[in-house]
């Protein structure tokens, strides 16, 4: 008779080593994660920018890249799923010394079957747990959704966090996307009783855009923190150059 661990390997259920270390909640049994910060990131590096992982003492590594850059055949999730220990060790080395992560942003799409979006959110939770256990870093939950019905469940399992992250990249000029960001933030205000801060990944040189998107959170006393990042620095520099011409 096969033992439980061997059966787990044969059935590609290696992720259970992670989800069994927490509880799962809500309609879709999403793994619960924890995040409580005493200080905040002051710079956000992309997964594809390892040269920036230690730009400051409080740099956060994010996954606000195209999915193919971090979620390919050799990506972290596949390494976890197939328990590829050699590849997992590569990631431990890659992320050595990273203090903060923002949970993977597996893109969600409105024109695919709903179960794909739920699965992508679950994968982000599993990777978050792996990062916490294997790097010693703090993983900040990422809030994402592609349609209003996702708001029913995308905060499940985040009830005890005091900080979340939101990306406005590519969304600041689209009225539908702006509205969805605002509804997502309002949903966090409603469902996350311990929420104290929102980390914003913005590439815009216009700070008023962020102020507008997060105005309800600011009214509630939530800290809105916009760390620097490579694209934002470039856009601010370009904007300054244009203004001084």
pLDDT the model gives residue 245: 56
15-243, what's its fold?
A: TIM Barrel (3.20.20)
What distance lies between CA 53 and its chain's CA centroid? Answer: 16
pLDDT the model gives residue 242: 62
Query: Do the beta carbons of residue 58 and residue 43 sit within 8 Å?
Result: yes
Radius of gyration of the chain (CA): 18
**Strands 24-25 and 30-31, bridge-based pairing:** antiparallel
Q: Tokens 């029913």 appear where?
A: 152
Its pTM stands at: 0.93
pLDDT the model gives residue 146: 86
| Helix H or strand E segment including 166 | strand 163-167
What distance lies between CA 184 and its chain's CA centroid? Answer: 14
Sequence-separated (6 or more) residues with CB below 8 Å from residue 207: 226
pLDDT the model gives residue 51: 97
Q: 55: which 2 tokens? A: 């730009």
Sequence-separated (6 or more) residues with CB below 8 Å from residue 236: 205
pLDDT the model gives residue 152: 95
In tens digits, what is the pLDDT along the chain, a chain of 245 residues?
467 788 888 888 999 999 999 999 999 999 999 999 999 999 999 999 999 999 999 999 999 999 999 999 999 999 999 999 999 999 999 999 999 999 999 988 877 888 899 999 999 999 999 999 999 999 999 999 888 999 999 999 999 999 999 999 866 555 768 889 999 999 999 999 999 999 999 998 888 889 999 999 999 999 999 999 999 999 988 877 566 55
DSSP assignment of 49-104 equals -GGGTTSSTTEEEE--S-HHHHSSTTSHHHHHHTT-HHHHHHHHHHTTT--EEEPP
Q: 51: which 2 tokens? A: 């040269």
| Helix H or strand E segment including 117 | helix 114-135
pLDDT the model gives residue 29: 97
Cα angle 7-10-11, degrees, rounded to a multiple of 5: 85
Domain boundaries, the chain: 15-243
Q: 14: which 2 tokens? A: 């290696």
Task: Tell me the C-alpha distance between 143 and 156, whole Å.
Answer: 11
Task: Report the interhelical angle of 114-135 vs 85-94 (nearest 10°).
Answer: 70
Q: How many Cα atoms are found within 13 Å in the side-chain-facing hemisphere of 90?
A: 12
Task: Tell me the C-alpha distance between 108 and 82, whole Å.
Answer: 23
Cα angle 39-64-189, degrees, rounded to a multiple of 5: 55
| Helix H or strand E segment including 237 | helix 230-243
């Amino acid at each position: 008779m096969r033992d439980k661990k061997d059966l787990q390997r044969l059935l590609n259920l290696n992720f259970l080593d992670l989800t069994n270390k927490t509880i799962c909640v809500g309609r879709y049994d999403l793994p619960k994660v924890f995040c409580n910060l005493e200080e905040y990131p002051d710079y956000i590096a992309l997964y594809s920018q390892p040269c920036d992982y230690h730009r400051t003492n409080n740099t956060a590594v994010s996954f606000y890249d195209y999915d193919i850059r971090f979620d390919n055949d050799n990506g972290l999730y596949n390494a976890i799923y197939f328990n590829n220990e050699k590849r997992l060790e590569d990631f431990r080395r890659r992320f050595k010394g990273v203090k903060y992560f923002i949970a993977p942003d597996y893109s969600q799409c409105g024109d695919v079957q709903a179960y794909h979006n739920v699965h992508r959110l679950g994968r982000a939770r599993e990777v978050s747990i792996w990062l916490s256990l294997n790097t010693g870093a703090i993983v900040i939950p990422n809030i994402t959704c592609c349609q209003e019905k996702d708001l029913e469940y995308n905060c499940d399992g985040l009830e005890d966090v005091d900080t979340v992250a939101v990306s406005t990249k590519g969304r600041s000029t689209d009225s539908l996307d702006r509205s969805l960001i605002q509804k997502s933030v309002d949903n966090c205000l409603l469902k996350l009783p311990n929420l104290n801060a929102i980390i914003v990944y913005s590439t815009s040189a216009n700070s008023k855009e962020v102020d507008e998107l997060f105005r309800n959170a600011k009214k509630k006393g939530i800290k809105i923190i916009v760390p620097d990042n490579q694209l934002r620095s470039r856009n601010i520099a370009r904007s300054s150059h244009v203004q001084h011409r």
